[in-house]
């Protein structure tokens, strides 16, 4: 029953994706701007749908906060769609062009991926953001938000469809799972050939389930266990500022630093002020023996702590033996997301930048910069830590693939 | 038991892949050239291993031909490895570079993918070719050739390992499934997290099994149901030459044309000479009613014929209503591999080039050009028709992904 529902959506999505792939930039932008206007026009209906979700929810305050829409949050969604409309068109970009000795001209051209399945938790704004990025990049999308946000998601979806209609694009370009049945997720994950890419966005357990069960390619990260390594050649003030920001600016985002690695060469001098800065900001610690030899008041870490993405005001701390020690620690405990080094030594920095398996490596910058907007992508639909297609923030460019056009003058192959 | 074997290989492959990713171009090229010399030096041992495989095989003559090694074929493998060594280094290429208003400099740099699983049928040379491309692109590889070619594959693997040893690279950079147990394939397909990418090469049933069962990303094509469309504005002589080449140059390759689509506007004039050319080359036909109205002697096609990748001297023929008719036929029956148009009309050509879902589209050229070497990639490890990461011939560039390096001067995120 449920699999059939999703199959029915997917069978509408494929032809819609083909129309969308052939549509002009202006048409897609018009749909985005019209959807933004519909969100604004229908904000009362959206708020009352949201109130129904909130009334039915018995979740925690933090969960309810993510679920809650306000007029300002609806305006932010609308502004977001307009901002995406204003970005460069990712479709049709000429990625490479070359000519063969036989005169064949080859052109690699960016194309939409096709049909994207977006699985997210009960944050209604994610539906609008994701639909906007998929539409801009010429991809049809099937949205499946958290079951607690169903009425909100439907109301937002209605605004997106209204935008599509006004731009004379197929309504099936943006679809939504028909009800809160949890089996829709399984059906989407099984839809090989009908859905081309699944993007899950939410907590680790959701993402890990998707990665484990999907029969469809997935772009995602389950964890952001990010490290900041303070090298012996770090400028001390910069190290203090970067570590404080990387850990404490926002503790709940995937680019937040979870483990501080500090070079034994400077730990005695630099660890105390860094820890004092963080403690003053309300941070707690789990420190290895070498760090506790310098600061005995720090709580002791066990191995599990270095495997933990705290997403909270807690920092694992280890003293390492130079950049090689840092890289060995990251290879053992990292999640291939983002790692930073603070150093004035360029050779050490370059060793670090290219020495990890991670999607993003940084030199003298806060790991919290790992974000599509900060990278200049305008917006992101997620962050990927896989090893194929896209790594790091996933923006419009990463929502495209390519085809090769071969232009001849009658050539045949000898 | 078997899963453990493959897990053991994979657990050696990961650290080896890290060493390889950090190695210099010169080191990897030295390993390739040393392996080529080992193939030449040990050709008698390789031939006698191959003789054991052939003695045990009761397969068809065509199968035995693919399995058979000769001194010339071993020399071709060696030359192939040297040619790959001479190609540009795909690792470390600067793919993009930009600076943000806050001064952060971002660099997108090509990286190896990691650990690749290569599953292929009993053509021993595929093992050497694939290992060479993986090694050049900094990827560790686990080879699993057809069980009938086990001794040949082992002998070739020994030469690859000898090359690695001479270049002081870990022997685990190129590994081979330990025996002919068919369960190794299942274990490789299940090795999510341990193997980063599976590339299957062989017949449709092998590839479809891999696509169906793999828990690991796959780059492959199950079918090359390629179309050539002769437009009403085609230059007649060019159309005849291209169709004859696209169908008959080699009928067994994935880029061979399987279906001729001809514009109703020119079918009466052009179909007879095109068919006569092909018939003279030994081609058979399956034609739709409109084509048979022009040439009643052509055998009638049924719908299944248009879904068939003949890989033989057989051509499906349909008369279509202009370029839109051709695109509709391709959307219904195509395999997203390669399609060609023959026309002198540029607007029609551009409509066709961007109007399909296919990985490669061609204008006034033979579909048989869909090949890594013909594209200028030097060599290919396969052809992909998926919609993520790579589409069309898969060469060294498609065996890399990227990381982003972020270079700051102490920036923190506001």
Q: Looking at CA atoms only, how far is residue B48 from chain A in angstroms?
A: 34
Give the total number of structural domains in chain A.
2
Q: Inter-chain contact A211–B192, Cβ cutoff 8 Å? A: yes
CATH code, domain carrying A309: 3.40.309.10
The three-state secondary structure class of A215 is coil
Same domain, B20 and B120: yes
Which residues on chain B are in Cβ contact (under 8 Å) with A363?
405-408
- The single residue listed with the structure tokens 């999640």 is A335
Indicate the Cα dihedral angle B299, B300, B303, B306, nearest 10°: 40
For the stretch B270-276, contacts whose Cβ atoms lie closer than 8 Å and that sit 24 or more positions apart, written own/partner, are B270/B230, B270/B234, B270/B236, B270/B239, B270/B240, B271/B295, B271/B317, B271/B319, B273/B236, B273/B240, B274/B230, B274/B239, B274/B240, B274/B243, B274/B244, B275/B317
Same domain, A34 and A152: yes
Q: Is residue A380 part of a domain?
A: no
DSSP B256: S
Q: Is residue B380 part of a domain?
A: no
Q: Is residue B413 part of a domain?
A: no
Q: To the nearest whole number, what is the mean pLDDT of chain B? A: 96
Same domain, B311 and B394: no
CATH code, domain carrying B80: 3.40.605.10
Same domain, B48 and B195: yes
Per-residue pLDDT tens over the stretch B67-92: 999 999 999 999 999 999 999 999 99
* Selection from A263, A239, A228, A268 nearest residue A370 by Cα: A228
Q: What is the mean pLDDT of residues B300-307?
A: 97
Q: What share of chain A is helix, strand, coil (3-state, %, to 5)?
A: 45, 20, 30
| Whether the Cβ atoms of residue A411 and residue A104 lie closer than 8 Å to each other | yes
Same domain, A359 and A215: no
Q: Inter-chain contact A410–B364, Cβ cutoff 8 Å? A: yes
Q: Is residue B379 part of a domain?
A: no
The CA angle B408-B411-B414, to the nearest 5 degrees, is 145
Which residues on chain B are in Cβ contact (under 8 Å) with A245?
412-413
Q: Looking at CA atoms only, how far is residue A311 from chain B in angstroms?
A: 17
Rg (C-alpha) for chain A, rounded Å, is 24
Same domain, A211 and A344: no
Same domain, B188 and B307: no
Same domain, A209 and A247: no
The three-state secondary structure class of A34 is helix
Which residues on chain B are in Cβ contact (under 8 Å) with A375?
100, 106, 404
Same domain, A234 and A153: no
This prediction's pTM: 0.94
Same domain, A216 and A237: no
Candidates B98, B354, B364; nearest CB to A408: B364
Which residues on chain A are in Cβ contact (under 8 Å) with B226?
none
Q: How far apart are CA B64 and CA B58, in angstroms?
A: 8
Per-residue model confidence (pLDDT) at position B62: 84
Which residues on chain B are in Cβ contact (under 8 Å) with A93?
none
The sign of the CA dihedral A354, A357, A360, A366 is negative
Per-residue model confidence (pLDDT) at position B102: 97
Residues whose CB is less than 8 angstroms from the CB of residue A75 and which lie 6 or more positions away in sequence, other chains included: A40, A43
Domain that residue A284 falls in: 226-374
Check whether B307 has a pLDDT greater than 90. Answer: yes
Q: Inter-chain contact A407–B374, Cβ cutoff 8 Å? A: no
The phi-psi region of residue B378 (left if phi > 0; otherwise alpha if psi is between -120 and 50; otherwise beta) is: left
Q: How far apart are CA B286 and CA B315, in angstroms?
A: 6
Q: Is residue A354 part of a domain?
A: yes
Same domain, B7 and B120: yes
| Whether the Cβ atoms of residue A137 and residue A396 lie closer than 8 Å to each other | yes
Q: How far apart are CA B68 and CA B47, in angstroms?
A: 9
* Selection from B315, B304, B305, B298 nearest residue B245 by Cα: B315
| Whether the Cβ atoms of residue B318 and residue B306 lie closer than 8 Å to each other | yes
Top residue of A140, A250, A413 to mutate, by most chain B CBs within 10 Å, is: A413
Q: Is residue A147 part of a domain?
A: yes
Nearest residue of chain A to residue B219 (CA atoms): A388
pLDDT (tens digit, 0 to 9) for every residue of chain A, 414 residues total? 456 688 899 999 999 999 999 999 999 999 999 999 999 999 999 999 999 999 998 888 888 999 999 999 999 999 999 999 999 999 999 999 999 999 999 999 999 999 999 999 989 999 999 999 999 999 999 999 999 999 999 999 999 999 999 999 999 999 999 888 889 999 999 999 999 999 999 889 999 999 999 999 999 998 999 999 999 999 999 999 999 999 999 999 999 999 999 999 999 999 999 999 999 999 999 999 999 999 999 999 999 999 999 999 999 999 999 999 999 999 999 999 999 999 999 999 999 999 999 999 999 999 999 999 999 998 899 999 999 999 999 999 999 999 999 999 999 999
Q: Inter-chain contact B406–A365, Cβ cutoff 8 Å? A: yes
| Whether the Cβ atoms of residue B157 and residue B120 lie closer than 8 Å to each other | no
Q: Which residues pair with B406 in a beta bridge?
A: A362, B106
Q: Inter-chain contact B405–A363, Cβ cutoff 8 Å? A: yes
State which H helix or E strand residue B278 sits in.
helix B264-280
The three-state secondary structure class of A201 is strand
Q: Is residue A44 part of a domain?
A: yes
Q: Looking at CA atoms only, how far is residue A95 from chain B in angstroms?
A: 10
Which residues on chain B are in Cβ contact (under 8 Å) with A357?
18, 114
DSSP A188: H
Q: Is residue A382 part of a domain?
A: no
Which residues on chain B are in Cβ contact (under 8 Å) with A389?
388-389, 401
Same domain, A251 and A351: yes
* Selection from B178, B200, B180, B181 nearest residue B189 by Cα: B200
Q: Looking at CA atoms only, how far is residue A229 from chain B in angstroms?
A: 13
């Amino acid at each position: 029953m449920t699999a059939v529902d999703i199959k029915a959506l997917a069978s509408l999505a494929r032809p819609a994706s083909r129309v969308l792939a052939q549509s002009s930039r202006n048409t897609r932008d018009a749909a985005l701007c019209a959807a933004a206007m519909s969100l604004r026009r229908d904000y009362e209906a959206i708020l009352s749908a949201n109130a129904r979700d909130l009334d039915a929810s018995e979740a925690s305050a933090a969960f309810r906060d993510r679920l809650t829409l306000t007029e300002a949050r609806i305006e932010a969604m609308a502004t977001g769609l307009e901002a995406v409309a204003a970005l460069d068109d990712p479709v049709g970009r000429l990625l490479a062009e070359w000519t063969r000795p036989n005169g064949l001209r080859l052109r690699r051209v960016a194309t939409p991926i096709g049909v994207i399945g977006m699985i997210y938790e009960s944050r209604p704004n994610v539906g609008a953001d994701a639909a906007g990025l998929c539409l801009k990049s010429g991809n049809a999308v099937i949205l499946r938000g958290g079951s607690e946000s169903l009425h909100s998601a439907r109301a937002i979806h209605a605004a997106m469809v209204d935008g599509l209609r006004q731009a004379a694009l197929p309504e099936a370009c943006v679809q939504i799972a028909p009800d809160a049945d949890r089996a829709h997720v399984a059906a989407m994950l099984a839809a090989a050939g009908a859905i081309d890419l699944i993007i899950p966005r939410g907590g680790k357990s959701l993402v890990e389930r998707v990665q484990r069960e999907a029969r469809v390619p997935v772009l995602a990260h389950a964890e952001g266990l990010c490290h900041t390594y303070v090298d012996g050649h770090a400028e001390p003030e910069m190290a203090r500022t970067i570590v404080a920001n990387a850990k404490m600016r926002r503790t709940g985002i995937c680019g937040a630093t979870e483990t501080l690695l500090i070079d034994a060469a400077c730990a005695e001098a630099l660890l105390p002020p860094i820890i004092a800065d963080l403690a003053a900001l309300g941070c707690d610690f789990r420190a290895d023996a070498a760090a506790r030899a310098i600061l005995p008041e720090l709580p002791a870490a066990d191995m599990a702590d270095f495997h933990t993405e705290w997403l909270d005001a807690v920092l694992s701390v280890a003293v390492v033996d130079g950049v090689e020690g840092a890289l060995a620690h990251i290879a053992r405990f990292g999640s291939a997301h983002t790692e930073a080094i603070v150093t004035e030594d360029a050779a050490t920095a370059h060793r670090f930048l290219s020495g990890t398996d991670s999607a993003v490596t940084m030199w003298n910058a806060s790991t919290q910069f790992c974000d599509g907007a900060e990278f200049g992508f305008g917006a992101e639909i997620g962050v990927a830590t896989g090893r194929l297609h896209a790594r790091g923030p996933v923006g419009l460019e990463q929502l495209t693939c390519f085809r090769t056009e071969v232009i001849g003058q009658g050539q045949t192959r000898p």
